[in-house]
Amino acid sequence: MTATELKPRPRLPEWLRFNLPTSDGFGHTRSLLDELKLHTVCESAKCPNHWECWAKGTATFMIAGDRCTRACGFCAVSTAKPLALEADEPARVAEATRRMKLKHVVITAVARDDLKDGGAEHFRQTIEKVRELNPGIVIEVLVPDFLDNDAAIENVLSAHPHIYNHNLETVRRLTPEVRHRATYDRSVSVLKKAKELATRNRKLQTQNFFTKSGVMLGLGETEEELLQAMRDLRESNCDILTLGQYLQPTLKHLPVKEFVTPEKFAEYKTAAEEMGFVHVASGPMVRSSYHADEFELSSVR
């Protein structure tokens, strides 16, 4: 069945149901984002956790607009011809992190294949502006693959983010269906290059630097395929792993093939830790940036 064949979504299991927050925090975050005219992946990608995160005064900023040049089968972000980059967006993101008093910020972006550098320079400027207004903040970037362009990867690293995150999203067999215009090997290569560049080039070295990736479960992958994907990530020297349940954002997107139990997520967490990942977040509601601040850079030696 294709993503465009409309079929009623299956009923969510008990472990995926939750109550919406009732605090004023959500409204405060909403107002701040509106005032500064910022996009978040929380809203654009219809993340199920955005109610909780916004209520706590956190958000994952999505730069370079809200129009993606790709059309991945799992993602709710709009696919359309992008608008021009906004020169003052890095400063607005920095101001938001200052007002929100964030100690750990996650900055992501739509895929901008229309730009020669894929938006890497915009990432660099945003990182630098955020650090300028927030000395000591932990900066995590969740980047597109930049078409595996060395110069683009190096440009982002030149701003010295602490965590360089690029999601593998799914297993090798399902990648052509799940991730439009992306490839499995390219994503693994991006993570490997980021670690090698940040380690080899003194100008790019950052104290306590980590690479990170995430995989969605429930798209039809087998256990062995998932374990192999985890091994491939470790072979690329990926440090941090997130595993979460895929949830169909709209009826036009890929359907859920399986709701993975919390117990199975716990088993995968153990397996990943045994492979050598320094930090693993694994659970039905886990997303790449969900509770990202729970990982402490200083906890790893």
Measured CA to CA, the distance from residue 36 to residue 31 in angstroms comes to: 9
Is 80 exceeded by the pLDDT of residue 16? no
Closest to 104 (Cα-Cα) out of 69, 59, 137: 137
pTM, whole model, 2 decimals? 0.91
Is 50 exceeded by the pLDDT of residue 3? no
Of the listed ranges 193-202, 208-217, 253-262, 286-295, the one predicted with least confidence: 286-295
Residue 12 located in a structural domain: no
Q: Residue 17 — pLDDT band, cuts 50, 70, 90?
A: confident
Share of the chain above pLDDT 90, in %: 70
Residue 1 located in a structural domain: no
Total domains in the chain come to 1
Measured CA to CA, the distance from residue 246 to residue 259 in angstroms comes to: 8
The reported pLDDT for the residue numbered 1 is 46
pLDDT, tens digit (0-9, with 9 covering 90-100), for 163-214: 999 999 999 999 999 998 899 999 999 999 999 999 888 778 777 899 999 9
The reported pLDDT for the residue numbered 23 is 67
Residue 187 located in a structural domain: yes
Is 90 exceeded by the pLDDT of residue 253? yes
**Identity at 186, one-letter amino acid code:** R
| Mean pLDDT score across all residues of the chain | 89
Residue 16 located in a structural domain: no
The reported pLDDT for the residue numbered 88 is 98
Residue 272 located in a structural domain: yes
Residue 99 structure tokens: 């007002």
Q: For the stretch 200-217, what's the b/e string if a residue is b when 16 or more beta carbons lie within 10 angstroms of its beta carbon?
A: eeeebebeebbbbbbbbb
Residue 250 structure tokens: 């709209």
Give the structural domain span for 58.
Answer: 24-299
Give the highest mean pLDDT range of 10-19, 190-199, 285-294.
190-199
Residue 270 located in a structural domain: yes
Is 60 exceeded by the pLDDT of residue 4? no
Residue 69 near residue 113, CB atoms below 8 Å: yes
- Find the largest Cα–Cα distance for the chain: 53
Of the listed ranges 144-148, 285-289, 294-298, the one predicted with least confidence: 294-298
Q: What CATH number does residue 256 fall under?
A: 3.20.20.70
The reported pLDDT for the residue numbered 7 is 62
Residue 241 located in a structural domain: yes
The reported pLDDT for the residue numbered 288 is 80
Share of the chain above pLDDT 70, in %: 89
Measured CA to CA, the distance from residue 10 to residue 63 in angstroms comes to: 33
pLDDT, tens digit (0-9, with 9 covering 90-100), for 265-280: 999 999 999 999 999 9
Of the listed ranges 1-15, 59-73, 110-124, 131-145, the one predicted with least confidence: 1-15
Residue 19 located in a structural domain: no
Measured CA to CA, the distance from residue 61 to residue 74 in angstroms comes to: 19
